[in-house]
Chain A
Amino acid sequence: MGRKGDVIFHDTDLLILGAGASGCAAALAAGGRKARVVLADKGRLESCGSLGGGNDHFMAILNTDAPGDDYETAINFYSTPSSGYSRSHVSQWLQTMPEMIGILKSLDIEFLHNPDGSFYRTTGFGQPGSWWTHINNGKFIKRRLAGAVRSTGVETLEYFQCTKLFTLDGRAAGAAGFNVLDGSFHVVRASSIVLALGRLAGRVSHNSSLNAFNSAFSPFITGSQIALAYEAGAELLTLDSEQEATLIPKGWGCPGMNGITSSGARGLNALNERYMGKYHPMMEVGPRCLLVQGTARELAEGNGPPFNLDLTHIDKDVLHHLQHDSMPGDKETWNDYCEQAGINFAEKPMEVELSELYINGIMRLRDNFETATVAGLFGGSMFHDLSGSSCSGYIAAGHALEAVGTGRPADKDWLLGEASAEKERVFRPLEVEDGISQQKFESAIRQVMNYYMGYVRSRKGMEAALAKLALVENNQADVMAANLHELMRAHESFHLLRTCQLATAASLERRETRFVYRRSDYPDQDAAYDGKMLIVSRGEAGPRLEWR
């Protein structure tokens, strides 16, 4: 344990920021070799990240004879002009999947198999093949992964919240942040860095429960991946396109609706109509963004609330597996909630609601997962879900290891000099008096996002949002934190604010309706955007937005 204000210097070859599925997989790829590796997270290895409470699926394309199970289909599905993934990126992911399954199996994670020995797999939202394997004891994954990482001898920096990446001459130089429990300040020198801080930024808006932590996906990931990379000079993609939402049980945030809809759930509106038929021929299992848009439109037209997912027509054994084995794998407390809320798939439809919004930006990467503009900065957390996050962390760390030694380590005194200004900034909220509380500051961000950045937007609304987010930012220097816990939340909200600003600015640029939100001023898809990507990067006077 350090003491408040202590400055502790770490020297390493490879720094992995984030120790969720992505960071742990990165550490497994990099640990136990010659290079010195530091794995850092604001939580503890055994539980941090989205995977902490478990996961019940691992998406795997296995090149079998099953329809759509070949690499070409998967590459064509993921490597589109607007996805930000090159064919090489996807191909590396596909090739890593069997290895990752092997790692999980070596940790006694149990996959469901068909009688013929093949993996039991089901189909995900809008996908051309049955790619989703099922895991039986998903709640053990993170703890066991952590055990495997610890046994590699990787140096860990737990309870460390990263607030800044340092670059020198266009190259990664290190990072700084503080220990959220003891207040010590840490400076890490590393010329290779894997960013694995999570892909889905939460706490952007809230659902009907009005509690931003009661969310579908982890509320402890608030856009650090986006904000840190942006400040360091990386180019960001998909901020305009890959915003995300889902359905959740009314009033209670949890992931896992994929499993429910792919089991054959029927979405019903207040008129008892199976409304998704109006929006996509695959109905509930069509692209998830359409499920969101469709539900939002029904809501706007007064065809709901309530909305229900009805599974009562499905085989009782399937439902029992789904409710009692599968869902708790995604959310450990699922059974407790169902018992208290009286949810029983077999007996009655479950009331659901449209969840809060998530923002999802990835870095523009070369084929070796290194950012195009900052040498030595690599992207983990690039693909979706357990499969995507773990595989991308694993791949990125492999490439980052190769890059170790290609750049000269930054001068220690220079780094400590830079860090001292950062230290001043980091701890400032602890000193502020008569300012704005961290909670109030953060809810101000959501107040803007909820109102102007919902599932139907317009240019005027988003311009207003940007102006008001700027107003919120003007108060950032006055944010108060009563203790280290609030200081941690304060820095989470600073990253959240930056993420929301960038996503709003990016959405403004997309003058069409194609993804999760509808532009009321541009209600149709516009072919002019086919094959185009919006690239967001830091300019001299704010974000630079550029179509390529």
Chain B
Amino acid sequence: MPPVFSKETDKIYIINSSRKGQGRTSPCENACPLGNPIQKMEREIAAGNVKQALRVIRASNPFPGITGRVCPHPCEDRCNRGQYDEKISIRALERYVADSGAACRDVFVPAPASGKKVAIIGSGPAGLACAFYASLLGHVVTVFEAAPVAGGVPRQSIPDFRLPKDVVDREVGMVLALGVRILTNVEVGVDISLGEILRRHDACLVAVGNRRERRLDIPGIGKALPAVSFLKQSNLVRTGMDRKRVVILGGGGVAFDCAFTARRLGAASVDIVCLESRGAMRVPAAEIDQADAEGIPLHNNYLAAAIELDENGAPISVLADGVSGFCFDESGALKADLVPDDKLRLNADVVICASGLMPDLSLLDGACAQMAERTPCGCLKTRNSQTTVAGLFAAGECALGPALVSTAIASGRQAAFDMDRWLRGEELAPPIDAWIDEAGGIATARAKKAPSVREVAFEEIVNIGKHPRGARKQTSRLTAADTWLAFEELDKGFDSAGAQAEAERCLHCGHCQMCGECVASCPGLILAEGEDSPRVVYPDECWHCGCCRLACPGACISFKFPLHTFL
């Protein structure tokens, strides 16, 4: 009959599969692809322990400065507090912690050398996450990167005003500090064969991302710039676009990044042509606001029909047809309903096509790994991170398809532990728990059993009144007009007072914070304050009235009825 309390954990988890002591948890933690201990981080921030918050977050995510800026925060979207006043600004808190501890190299202690050598192809979020944990697990790690810089998409394809490159380089440096080697300008399949890499290493991870750009099939498309190539170019070898008229085809995040970049490179005009209506665009509302503020027109409900070229073969305009609706058929092909006589013509000197990315696994060609099975969409098929070729692992977008940075990191992290078990000759299937032990090293254990964790719904928090209402704290944000450098970062993040106040707003759904309300509210007075959660001192005197649960401001209490009540 007695209540069961779902507690905050004392452990600093890397991977928390068994959720010990946590029968209930928050939607935010469930929604995070990395399973970040969001509540624990917020509790440390609220208590002023930023250094501990950094340790907690870095254990599960080595790149919080990156995700704290670019993650589209599925956590925040599901935050229960949104049904009370406003959602918690979780991403900005992660960034605050990362920035506060940017100079802190005091991370975790690597395990003794295993004598095993691991190769990782690709230094993006998945590859480097795997490198970080594989190195901590005691393996010698070498990363092969085709580009001249390490860091993958965050380093090459995300503009500086969103993600400054020193942030990426510093977090890549955290990986290097463990002794990981990153060999840039080495393209596997060209400079060295995959077969050669496999021969020289005990295990290999393919984490090359989605590299091939998809192109619209319209006349003149050959003269359009692929969006990601344009962004890479702008990040690595920036050239001005003075007086150019730029038209961007596409309505996703990459299209907006291209538009803002072109604007900062001095383009005379920037236009976005996209299929979706203004309300249905797959970007945060803030992006649309920024486009408005920077004078970038959105031509919604248009499908590009052709790029008109001059006699020298250079673009002069973009033609587009109005659409009343569209869908994709089973094969992924677009079916659009055109509006007769609704034609759009935009003058253009430069056309940028942002139509998404596809896998490019040509590096496998000719190697013994060529027989590695693919998924229907062309990704590498994996089981416990391993491809169908023994010793060859895959993580990130080349295994998952299009994914968030955080999902790619999670996939690389998991691959490190799967690879480690494979190298040790252990079984791969059962999920594991991994955490930072008292000495600062990695400890692992097989997760006992699949946990049944209940996600707290807002309505379950009966004593919500315990939390004073308060608006979401805003980070300091600049508009383009306020900046002194063209590519200056716009979001300046929280100061410490703002971060602390925002972290204090957390409702701590499902994780007991020892407020004592339940103990005080038990009509039978059978509970007492305990070490890390309340204790049921007199279990046989529980009337299962649920007053404890009604008093709990975090819906942390469930009930498990004893045998005699079922007989």
A507 CB, min distance to chain B CBs, angstroms: 27
Is the pair B559, A218 in contact by a Cβ cutoff of 8 Å?
A: no
Q: Is the CB of B523 within 8 A of A252?
A: no
Q: Within A317-365, which residues are at the interface with B (CB < 8 Å)?
A: 331-333, 336-337, 340-341
Question: Does A466 make an interface contact (CB < 8 A)?
Answer: no
Flag the segment in A93-101, A112-120, A209-217, A418-426 that touches B.
Answer: A209-217
B446 CB, nearest partner CB in chain A, Å: 27
The reply on B85 being an interface residue by CB < 8 A is no
In the assembled complex, the Cα of A333 lies from the Cα of B542 at a distance in Å of: 12
Check if A213 sits within 8 Å of B541, measured CB to CB: yes
| A53: nearest chain-B partner, CB-CB | B545
| Bound form: Cα–Cα A429–B505 in Å | 47
What is the minimal beta-carbon distance from A441 to any residue of chain B, in angstroms? Answer: 15
Contacts A214-B1, A219-B524, A251-B567 hold; do A47 and B544 have CB atoms under 8 A apart?
no
Contact with B along A238-269 (1 / 0, CB 8 A): 00000000000011111000000000000000
Q: Does residue B326 face the partner (Cβ distance < 8 Å to A)?
A: no
B335 contacts partner chain A, Cβ-Cβ < 8 Å = no
CB of A252 within 8 A of CB of B550, answer no
- Residue interface bits B553-567, CB-to-A below 8 A is 1, else 0: 000001111001111
User: B43: CB under 8 A from chain A?
Assistant: no
Quick check: A52 and B1 within 8 Å, CB to CB? no
- Which residues of the partner chain B approach A52 to less than 8 Å between Cβ atoms? 521, 523, 545, 547, 550
Q: Which residues of B contact A53 (CB under 8 A)?
A: 545-547, 550
A399, CB-defined interface residue at 8 Å? no
What separation, in Å, do the CA atoms of A199 and B530 have in the docked complex?
34
> In the assembled complex, which residues on chain A have CB atoms less than 8 Å from the CB atom of B543?
213-215, 218-220, 253
B501 in contact (CB, < 8 A): no
A residues near B561, Cβ cutoff 8 Å: 252, 336-337, 340-341
Q: How far is the CB of A293 from chain B (nearest CB, A)?
A: 25
B residues less than 8 Å from A215 (CB atoms): 543
Q: Are B462 and A143 in contact (CB under 8 A)?
A: yes
Are A485 and B538 neighbours in the complex by a CB distance under 8 Å? yes
Pick the contact of A332: B520, B549, B564, B565 (CB < 8 A). Answer: B549
* B interface SS class: loop
> B residues within 8 A CB of A159?
525
Chain A 201-237 interface 0/1 with B at a Cβ cutoff of 8 Å (1 = within): 0000000111101110011100000000000000000
The number of chain A residues with a CB under 8 A from chain B is 42
Contact of B463 among A143, A213, A214, A336 (CB under 8 A): A143
List A contacts of B521 (CB < 8 A): 44, 46-47, 52
Nearest chain A residue, comparing its CB with the CB of B522:
A47
Q: Does A140 touch B at the CB level, under 8 Å? A: yes
Query: Is B566 a contact of A47 with CB atoms below 8 Å?
Result: no
Q: Are A331 and B523 in contact, CB atoms less than 8 angstroms apart?
A: no
Inter-subunit contact B564/A209 (CB<8 Å) = yes
Which of chain A's residues have a CB closer than 8 A to the CB of B525?
42-43, 159, 180-181, 485, 488
Output the nearest chain B residue to A336 by Cβ-Cβ distance: B559
Please, what's the 1-or-0 string for A271-286, where 1 marks a CB less than 8 Å from any CB in chain B?
A: 0000000000000000
Tell me if A's interface is mostly helix, strand, loop or mixed: loop
CB-contact partner of A333 in B523, B546, B567, under 8 A: B546
Say how far B516's CB is from chain A's closest CB, in angstroms: 11
Give CA–CA (A181, B547) in the complex, Å.
18
CB distance from A482 to the nearest CB of B (A): 12
Residues of A with C-beta under 8 A to B549: 332-333
A210 close to B546 (CB less than 8 A): no
> Is B471 part of the binding interface, using a Cβ–Cβ cutoff of 8 Å?
no
B506-523 interface code vs A (CB 8 A; 1 in, 0 out): 000000000000001111
What sequence of 0s and 1s flags, for each residue 36-54 of chain A, a beta carbon within 8 Å of any chain B beta carbon? Answer: 0000001110111100111
Judge whether B551 is part of the interface by a CB distance below 8 angstroms.
Answer: yes
Q: Is A57 an interface residue (CB 8 A)?
A: no
Chain A residues closer than 8 Å to B566, beta-carbon distance: 251, 340-341
Minimal beta-carbon separation of B365 from chain A (angstroms): 55
Decide yes or no whether A171 CB sits under 8 A from chain B. no
Q: How far in angstroms is the closest Cβ of chain B from A253?
A: 7
- Knowing A47-B523, A180-B525, the reply to whether A341 touches B565 (Cβ < 8 A) is yes
* Residues of A374-417 contacting chain B, CB below 8 A: none
A134 sits at the interface (CB 8 A): no
Q: Which residue from B520, B545, B567 sits with its C-beta under 8 Å from A218? A: B545
Does residue B341 face the partner (Cβ distance < 8 Å to A)? no
A332 and B550 in contact, given A209-B564, A213-B543, A337-B559 (Cβ under 8 angstroms):
yes
Instruction: Convert A121-143 into 0s and 1s, putting 1 for each residue whose CB lies closer than 8 angstroms to a CB of B.
Output: 00000000000000000011011
- Which residue from B463, B540, B551 sits with its C-beta under 8 Å from A211? B540
How far, in angstroms, from A210 to B567 measured CA to CA in the complex?
11
Q: Does B457 contact A (CB under 8 A)?
A: no
CB distance from B72 to the nearest CB of A (A): 35
Q: In chain A, what residue has the closest Cβ to B524?
A: A220
A170 to chain B, nearest CB (A): 34
Chain B residue contacts of A47, Cβ below 8 A: 521-523, 545, 547, 550-551
Which residues of the partner chain A approach B560 to less than 8 Å between Cβ atoms? Answer: 340
Docked-complex contact B567 and A209, CB < 8 angstroms: yes
Closest Cβ neighbor of B526 among chain A residues:
A485
One of B462, B524, B547, B558 near A140 (C-beta < 8 A): B462
CB distance from B45 to the nearest CB of A (A): 30
Q: Which residues of B contact A211 (CB under 8 A)?
A: 540, 564
Tell me whether B113 is interfacial, beta carbon within 8 Å.
no
Q: Which residues between 343 and 367 of chain B lie within 8 Å of chain A, taking CB atoms?
A: none
Closest to A202 in B: B543
Give Cα A340 to B452, complex, Å. 14
> How far, in whole Å, are A159 and B541 apart by their CA atoms in the complex?
17
Chain B residue with the shortest CB-CB distance to A249: B565
Smallest Cβ-Cβ distance to A213: which chain B residue: B541
- Known contacts A213-B540, A214-B1, A485-B537, A332 near B547 by CB under 8 Å: yes
Q: Give the Cβ gap from A50 to chain B, nearest Cβ, in Å.
A: 9
Residues of A close to B538: CB separation below 8 A: 485
How many whole Å from B485's CB to the nearest CB in chain A?
Answer: 54
Contact check, B545 vs A333: say whether CB atoms are below 8 A apart: yes
Report whether A43 and B567 are in contact in the complex, using a CB–CB cutoff of 8 Å: no
Q: B521, B540, B558, B567: which has the most chain A beta carbons within 10 Å? A: B521
Tell me the complex Cα distance, A489–B564, Å.
23
Cβ–Cβ < 8 Å partners of A485 in chain B: 525, 537-538
Tell me the smallest distance from the CB of A210 to a CB of chain B, in Å.
Answer: 7
The smallest beta-carbon distance between B128 and chain A, in angstroms, is 44
Scan B371-408; emit 1 where CB is below 8 A from any A CB, else 0: 00000000000000000000000000000000000000
Q: A139-B550, A336-B558, A337-B544 are in contact. Are A214 and B565 (CB under 8 A)?
A: yes
Separation of A46 and B546 alpha carbons in the complex (Å): 12
Known: A47-B521, A143-B462, A251-B567. A332 touches B537 (CB 8 A): no
Nearest opposing residue in chain A for B544, CB measure: A333
Do B546 and A139 touch (CB < 8 A)? yes
| Alpha-carbon separation in the docked complex, A53 to B549 (Å) | 9
Q: How far is the CA of A434 from the CA of B354 in the complex (A)?
A: 86
Contacts of B523 in A (CB 8 A): 43-44, 47-49, 52, 218, 220
Most buried by B among A42, A181, A219: A219
Please indicate the chain B residues that have their CB under 8 angstroms from the CB of A331 in the complex.
544-546
Name B521's closest neighbour in chain A (CB-CB).
A47
Q: Which of B550, B559, B564 contacts A143 (CB 8 A)?
A: B550
Give A269 Cβ to nearest chain B Cβ, in Å.
Answer: 19
B242 CB, min distance to chain A CBs, angstroms: 63
Residues of chain B lying within 8 A (CB to CB) of residue A340: 560-561, 566
A340 to B564, CA, bound (A): 13
A-B contact pairs, 17 of them (CB 8 A): A42-B525, A43-B523, A44-B520, A44-B523, A46-B551, A47-B522, A47-B551, A48-B523, A53-B545, A54-B546, A142-B547, A251-B567, A331-B545, A332-B545, A332-B549, A485-B537, A488-B525
Known pairs A340-B566, A485-B537. 13 more at Cβ < 8 A? Answer: A47-B521, A47-B551, A143-B551, A210-B564, A219-B541, A220-B523, A254-B544, A331-B544, A333-B545, A333-B549, A336-B558, A337-B559, A337-B561
Closest 8 CB pairs of A and B: A332-B546, A53-B545, A47-B547, A47-B521, A336-B559, A52-B547, A252-B565, A333-B544
